[in-house]
Structure 1
Amino acid sequence: MLYTEDLEELIFHRHEIHESDELIVLSGYLGPSPVARLEQLPFNSTVIYGMYGSEGIKPTLHHSLLRIQNSIDNLNVFYSQLPVHSKCYAWRRRGEIIHALVGSANFSTNGLSTPFREVLAETTYDTFRPLNAYIQHVLNNSISCLEVGNERMVEIEVNLEFCRMTLLGKDGEVQNAAGLNWGQNPNNHTTPNDAYIPIRAEHIRIYPHLFLPKQLNPQNIDKRGRLQRHNDAIEIIWDDGLTMEGLFEGSQPVEGVIYPKQISSFPIKAQLGEYIRNRIGVPLGQPVRRHHLEKYGRTDVTVSLLAEGVYKFDFSV
């Protein structure tokens, strides 16, 4: 059986069909949201970050995974010292694989939530033993996330691309009914704290690796029979350690290619607006103005890519 949609729900409910006592996740890249969700499972889970061996791990992502590791008893997070790009999900009972999925989907919100972009396929019984041996070989060449020091990570994060994304409109003020005040328009189907961060064409031209083109969704067809494009889900780690899921929304053409035009929180649009208001001291439900941001100490957010589909948002002063 081949799966192309709802991959995260597939992984988190597979044990209800196959009686297992352990889940092993081997993934080229990781996102903190699905890793944290493993606490819900009724058995132990082991997660292996595969590309640590060749790329290391950014400090922000490492510290997020470390916080998750220290807060969940039934979880062990490892970093492979071999460069491994595989994506394997194996359910075991008494140490033996009884069911497994392999494919292209990383264990991250971005990898598991966009329909038709990634696939997972069931493996056959004859692959269980060699797959188990392969996973064990990677584990034998892995270290716990608890063992990693800061020396290598600091060097890695210094080389990140940083895009400064303004929270102000073109007139130099926070927009009345867009951006951080998206929910302030009574004619929109929004709540007062709904917010987004605009992506401008110059951001895309200067930082093409941060903002990828939007892909067509074969299941989403408008009234005129045209294919619509995916709103890609991402994971956001803020400078203070808070994590939230986000969405690259909307569409804008840049040099003939369609890109997203804004970043919102997901699935609750107000989460971003509430977070920013709490940080700058504006009461919930009230509009944000330039003087609020200046009093806080900055009028932009710095965005950088930590791993595939995982971003750091820095709003520190």
Structure 2
Amino acid sequence: MLYTQDLEELIFHRHQLHETDELIVLSGYLGPRPVARLEELPFNSTVIYGMYGSEGIKPSLHSSLLNIQGEVDNLNIFYSNLPVHSKCYVWRRRGDIIHALIGSANFSVNGLTTPFREVLAETTFDTFRPLNDYISHILNNSISCLEVGMERVIEETEQTDNCLMTLLGRNGEVQNAAGLNWGQNPNNHTTPNDAYIPIRTSHIRDFPNLFPPKQLNPLEIDGRGRMQRHNDSIEIIWDDGLTMEGLLEGSQPVEGVIYPKQISSFPIKAELGEYIRNRIGVPLGQPVRKHHLERYGRTDIEVSLIGEGVYKFDFSV
């Protein structure tokens, strides 16, 4: 059977259909949010980051995975010394595979939640033994994330676009009812701390690999199919180590291509606004002004892409 939607929920509920005592995830790239969610499962999980062997790992993602490894008891995170781009989700019982999904979906929020862009397919019984041998070969050539020295961690400044995204409006002040003050408009269906970070056309032109164009996906309403622009889910790792799920939402044309217009937190729009207010010392529910940001020490956030759908947000002073 082939699956193209709701892949994250598929993976986290598949064990309910099979008597299993172990999940093994082999993924070319990882995002911290699904890895941390493995704590929910009632058995042990193993996660293997496949492309470490050729690309290494960025410090912020490595630190985030180390924190998860230290906090989740039923989880072991490995980095493959062999460059592996495979995506395999394997459920085992007493060391034998009883169910498996393979395909194109990385174990990240972006890889598992974008409808129709990635696929996972069930494997047949005759593939279980060679697949088990393949997984064992990769594990035998992997190291624990706890064994990785900083000399193996790739500097984030190497081959990384670092975009400074201003938190000020075009008039040089924080907008009254948009941006960090999105929720301050009483006429919007928002809460006071709702916030977003605007994506300017200059960001897209200057950093074309940073934000992907928006894709069209079919939406079923009353049995009739129509197309809508899909809001990509992303993972955000802040400079202080906090992780947050985000959304690339809204639409704007840039040279004939439709791109996202803003970044918000997801599923709670206020999470971003509360986080920024706490960092700069503004009471929750109160508007943010330019002088608050200047007192804190900066009026922008440095944004970089450190993996598929995984971003680092640097708001350090």
Deviations 1:101-141 (A, max 9, x none): 00000000000011111111100000000000001100011
Whether 2:20 is the aligned partner of 1:20: answer yes
Q: Return the letter of the residue paired with 1:279.
A: R
What's the C-alpha RMSD, in Å, of the aligned pairs? 1.4
- Return the alpha-carbon distance in structure 1 between the equivalents of residues 220 and 241 of structure 2: 35
- Return the alpha-carbon distance in structure 2 between the equivalents of residues 133 and 139 of structure 1: 10
SS of structure 2 residue aligned to 1:53? helix
Paired position in structure 2 for 1:291 = 291
- Mapped contact 2:57–2:154 kept (Cα < 8 A): no
- Return the alpha-carbon distance in structure 2 between the equivalents of residues 2 and 226 of structure 1: 22
- Return the alpha-carbon distance in structure 2 between the equivalents of residues 41 and 242 of structure 1: 23
Paired position in structure 2 for 1:182 = 182
- Structure 2 counterparts to residues 86-105 of structure 1, below 5 A: 86-105=86-105
* Cα offset, 1:157, TM superposition: 4.0
* Cα offset, 1:154, TM superposition: 4.7
Q: Return the letter of the residue paired with 1:23.
A: L
* Cα offset, 1:152, TM superposition: 3.2
Paired position in structure 2 for 1:129 = 129
Q: Return the letter of the residue paired with 2:191.
A: T
* 1:221–1:167 CA distance, 2 compared to 1 (3 A): farther
Paired position in structure 1 for 2:253 = 253
* Cα offset, 1:159, TM superposition: 3.7
- Return the alpha-carbon distance in structure 2 between the equivalents of residues 227 and 99 of structure 1: 34
* Cα offset, 1:151, TM superposition: 1.6
Q: Decide which moves more: 257-266 or 225-234.
A: 225-234
* Cα offset, 1:219, TM superposition: 1.9
* Cα offset, 1:240, TM superposition: 0.2
Deviations 1:127-177 (A, max 9, x none): 000000001100011010001111232545444210000000000000000
Paired position in structure 1 for 2:311 = 311
- Mapped contact 1:220–1:229 kept (Cα < 8 A): no
Matched residues, percent identical? 83
Paired position in structure 2 for 1:240 = 240
- Mapped contact 2:219–2:226 kept (Cα < 8 A): no
SS of structure 2 residue aligned to 1:213? coil
SS of structure 1 residue aligned to 2:217? strand
Q: Which runs of 5+ in 2 are unaligned?
A: none
* Cα offset, 1:220, TM superposition: 6.1
Deviations 1:247-302 (A, max 9, x none): 00000000000000000000000000000000000000000000000000000000
SS of structure 2 residue aligned to 1:118? coil
Q: Given the two structures, how large is their TM-score scaled by the length of structure 1?
A: 0.97
Number of equivalent positions: 316
* Cα offset, 1:92, TM superposition: 0.1
* Cα offset, 1:316, TM superposition: 0.2
SS of structure 1 residue aligned to 2:153? helix
Paired position in structure 1 for 2:74 = 74
Q: Return the letter of the residue paired with 1:188.
A: N
- Return the alpha-carbon distance in structure 2 between the equivalents of residues 116 and 214 of structure 1: 13
- Mapped contact 2:56–2:154 kept (Cα < 8 A): no
- Return the alpha-carbon distance in structure 1 between the equivalents of residues 64 and 232 of structure 2: 22
Paired position in structure 2 for 1:263 = 263
Q: Given the two structures, how large is their TM-score scaled by the length of structure 2?
A: 0.97
- Return the alpha-carbon distance in structure 1 between the equivalents of residues 177 and 146 of structure 2: 45
- Return the alpha-carbon distance in structure 2 between the equivalents of residues 199 and 249 of structure 1: 10
* 1:247–1:149 CA distance, 2 compared to 1 (3 A): same
Q: Decide which moves more: 224-233 or 286-295.
A: 224-233
- Mapped contact 2:58–2:155 kept (Cα < 8 A): no
